[in-house]
Amino acid sequence: MIDDDRNETNSSSSNPAAGGEKSGIDSHTTHSQSSSSFLKELCEDSVSSITYSYASTWSSNYTMSNLAGPGRILGNFYSRAGSALERRIAKWANRSASKEYEKAVAAQEGYDFTVMFFCEDPKEHERACEMLLVCAKSDEVEIQLKAFTDTIQYFLEFPSDALSAFRNVFKRRQEFSDVVTFSWKRPGVEYTMNWLCRYKMASRCLSSHDNLVIEAAAKLNTDRFRALDFSSFEEIFLCCSDSTDLLLSVRLIGSHWNQKGIEEYVRRKGFDGVALLSFAKGIIARWELYFSLYGKSITVWQPFDLTDCFIYGMWRCLRDLETQALDDLSEDHAQLETWLAVFKIHYFVRSCRPPASEERSIVKSWENLSLEYLPNSEQSKLCNALLRLGSVHDPVMRKRFPPQEGSQIDVEEKTLIESYTRS
């Protein structure tokens, strides 16, 4: 899991009714057309930088009466001596910082940070954190980007250890982490969306202000690989306050979730459970980021298995519902908001071109899935509502995120055109 993102850096509802009744699904359309708040934040981010400087003051050899004085001469002598000492200290500090930087970059390139964090010695964790901070303040954007990625990844893989180690480092240095991370974004530099995304996520992980998502993540028992069901992450998703929190939470659940518990959660909380909707919104934010970066660089990739198990888990939940519950769902605005999110995620999967290493997983259309999971006449009201939801929002999604060449939708449409051509 540690290497998950290393390759990446190289480079809402109404009353849908059956039988022709007026549906309120159209009320979601305006919401769908709005851009992701996270992407909007990145595009509008114009944080300026504050520069602090220090230099010795040089004075003329004159008093206020414009007469030369022995005290002023002596003062200038000490000022010259002080300036010379400053220059020598600055040279020594620069040489020391240069060696420290070279060592940190070498460790970054050699994946040494991974070894340090797998070590049980907290001192090794802190040493890795110190070198990550050195890389994060680099003048080279790519080195910064790798440092942000590694910082995020270690918080996701070892949330408790990483939180403790970074806090100890900042405490020992008597530094405010927010001031440190603020200095990484320099004025006058035009950063890519990928850089800004990772910068915001890394800064959130390191923030000196208590973040409920990070604090909740540190309580997780992550000793065993992907051993936690969905209920373990409820608190984390309930704590999400913005899109950055959502993206971190989705990345976190992707590292530790056993891909079970969606059905159990829906039985307890319903389809309008806050944690479930937050999870869905986080997945959508990740996909929107992927589509926004597609073709510009090697980008953030949302694992298919995480998306797949969410979508199929949601469809399986419908099989356990009685007819009245299904009819109620088709008229419940809050629950249909979650199903709108499911539709969007389904669209993203089918409209993206997967990497060569990924098998095409969700190949069935929204219509086919609706008919497959809701095949009976007593389920027709909800089935029709979901079909209408798809027909209303598919054009909106296509306009914002056109299907990529080689995607499932693209392949199906080209095959259909060929069949018409032959006939």
Is the distance from CB of 7 to CB of 299 less than 8 angstroms?
no
Residues 241 and 369 in one domain: yes
Beta bridge partners of 257: 228
Share of the chain above pLDDT 70, in %: 72
Q: How high is the pLDDT of residue 224?
A: 82
Among 337, 328, 222, residue whose Cα is nearest residue 276: 337
- Cβ atoms of residues 318 and 373 within 8 Å: yes
**139 plus 260 within the same structural domain:** no
Q: Does the pLDDT of residue 118 top 80, yes or no?
A: yes
Mean local confidence (pLDDT), 222-230: 88
Taken as a whole, the chain contains a residue count of: 423
- 239 and 92 within one domain: no
Q: Which residue has the tokens 């199929």?
A: 312
Sorting pLDDT into bands at 50, 70 and 90, what band is 55? very low
Mean of per-residue pLDDT scores for the chain: 81
End-to-end CA distance of the chain: 50
Average pLDDT rounded to a whole number, residues 345-363: 78
3-state secondary structure at position 228: strand
Q: Which residue has the tokens 């030369």?
A: 68
**Residue 57 belongs to some domain of the structure:** no
Same domain, yes or no: 106 and 170: yes
Residues 147 and 26 in one domain: no
CA angle (15 as vertex; 250, 386 as ends), nearest 5: 55
Average confidence (pLDDT) over 132-157: 94
Does the structure show a pLDDT above 60 at 10? no
Range among 5-9, 250-254, 417-421 rated most confident: 250-254
Q: How confident is the model at residue 81 (pLDDT cuts 50, 70, 90)?
A: low
Please indicate, yes or no, whether residues 310 and 224 belong to a single structural domain of this protein.
yes
Nearest alpha carbon to residue 220 among 156, 128, 305? 156
Helices 243-256, 37-44: axis angle to 10 degrees equals 120
Same domain, 267 and 231: yes
- Provide the token pair at 184: 């990484």
User: Would you say 240 and 278 are in contact if contact means Cβ atoms under 8 Å apart?
Assistant: yes
What residues are paired with 228 via a beta bridge? 257
Question: Do 249 and 233 touch, CB atoms closer than 8 A?
Answer: yes
398 Cβ contact partners less than 8 Å away, ≥ 6 residues apart: 351
Q: Which residues of 349-366 are buried (b: 16+ CB within 10 A; e: fewer)?
A: bbbbbbeeeeeebbeebb
Please check the confidence at residue 17 and state whether its pLDDT lies above 50: no
175 lies in the same domain as 251 = no
Rounded to 5 degrees, what are φ and ψ at 24?
-100, 10
- Asked if 254 contacts 224 with a C-beta cutoff of 8 angstroms, the reply is no
Per DSSP, helices labelled H in 137-261 are 141-157, 159-173, 177-184, 193-206, 212-218, 234-239, 243-256
Q: Name the most confidently modeled range: 76-90, 111-125, 317-331.
A: 317-331
- Asked, for residue 99, whether it belongs to a domain, the answer is yes
Work out how many domains the chain is built from and give that number.
2
- pLDDT for position 320: 81
- Considering the domain architecture, whether residues 94 and 162 belong to the same structural domain is answered as yes
Residues 396, 294 share a domain = yes
Beta carbons of 175 and 208 less than 8 angstroms apart: no
Q: In the predicted model, is pLDDT for residue 171 greater than 70?
A: yes
In the predicted model, is pLDDT for residue 29 greater than 70? no
Hey, what are 39's tokens?
């992407």
The tokens of 11 are what? 């480079």
3-class secondary-structure state, position 15 = coil
- Write out the residue range of the structural domain in which residue 351 sits: 1-48+220-417
Find the mean pLDDT for residues 190-202. 91
- Are both 41 and 77 inside the same structural domain? no
- Judgement on whether residues 104 and 152 belong to the same structural domain of the protein: yes
